[in-house]
Amino acid sequence: MSGRGAARLIVLATANRAKAVELEALLAAMPVRLALLEEAAGRRDIPEPFATFRENAAYKARRAAQLTGEWSLGEDSGLEVDALAGRPGVYSARLAGKGAPDERRIALLLRMLEGVPAERRTARFRCALALAAPEGLLGQWQGVCEGRIAERPRGERGFGFDPVFVAGGETRTNAELTAEEKNALSHRGMAMRQFAAELAGLIGRWG
């Protein structure tokens, strides 16, 4: 990941490189240096055992900080579909089974929504962030992007459910947006801007 001078090191508690690239882009102007968990502590798999994004993000941040002795940023995010009573939620990455490719998860989601009219295909992406030091949690943030599920995949950018998610006010899916356009409206972008607004103060307070 990034290698900026004497910047504060923050370990990203994720093995998802696409997600890590997004996080790094959103923190590009901040005085931080990012490393993936596997770069700081070898290959590790931190589980997501809780029923909420907030709890999972906090657990991942605390666990990564304990493993590395460094400040660590935990993130959990997913898709909530109203017609599916909020599913897949925290199980978004495992909707079609652990390790299933994005294409299989998208295909399953669309099958689950067969026959659901456009006005009932409302959904949202939700992101929870948590920053922890080895001593404990330093802060938590959340971002929500409202939208709807398209009837078929469109676009080649992004990852996860991006090809079928259309954010409010948009006609294009997230996968048809540029990285800059997506970051400006995405759930992760919202949460990261809140985090970035407080990060300098946290560094000044905790060193």
| Residues with catalytic function | 76
**Contact yes or no for 178/194 (Cβ under 8 A):** no
**Contact yes or no for 52/126 (Cβ under 8 A):** no
Instruction: Compute the distance between CA of residue 14 and CA of residue 37 in angstroms, rounded to an integer.
Output: 6
Nearest one of 65, 59, 37 to 134, comparing CA atoms: 65
Instruction: Compute the distance between CA of residue 66 and CA of residue 1 in angstroms, rounded to an integer.
Output: 21
Instruction: Compute the distance between CA of residue 207 and CA of residue 203 in angstroms, rounded to an integer.
Output: 5
Instruction: Compute the distance between CA of residue 142 and CA of residue 86 in angstroms, rounded to an integer.
Output: 17
- Give me the long-range contacts of 146-151 (CB less than 8 A, separation at least 24): 146/122, 147/122, 147/123, 148/118, 148/121, 148/122, 148/123, 149/81, 149/109, 149/110, 149/113, 149/121, 149/123, 150/121, 151/110, 151/118, 151/121
